Amino acid sequence: MRFTRPLAAALGGLALAVLTIGPAAAADGSFVWVGPKGKAYAIQSPPERKCLDMAQEARGPQNSTKKALVVYSKKKCKGTALRIASGHSAPGSVHFASVVFNPR
């Protein structure tokens, strides 16, 4: 899978966050979404309770983690919120700008 530079940088920072937090604070599983030009992107074991801003277009969130997540229409986990239970997804028409895993 190829990543564009902004996404690769964002995911690189996310990977560092996951490494520094440790596995106990990660939502086991994967989070998948559709980005620019219809390409699929994914992250494994994202950090819990930390708002993550998307670096570029993001839609069609799929939650394959073991925890619920919330996607937001705006960055910094603001705007319209949509909760997605573990093992569920939202339609491809659902666009989002930020996400938090295992929210409080």
Q: What domain range includes position 80?
A: 5-101
pTM of the model: 0.75
Task: Give the pLDDT score at 27.
Answer: 76
Which residues of the chain are modeled with pLDDT < 50? 1, 3, 7-24
Whole-angstrom distance, CA of residue 100 vs CA of residue 94: 16
Give the number of domains in the chain: 1
Other CB atoms within 10 Å distance of the CB of residue 5 = 8
Tell which residue, 74, 63, 55, 75, has the closest CA to residue 101: 63
Task: Give the pLDDT score at 45.
Answer: 92
- CATH code of the domain covering residue 58: 2.60.20
Whole-angstrom distance, CA of residue 13 vs CA of residue 31: 16
Task: Give the pLDDT score at 25.
Answer: 64
**Residue with tokens 């994967």, as numbered in its chain:** 30
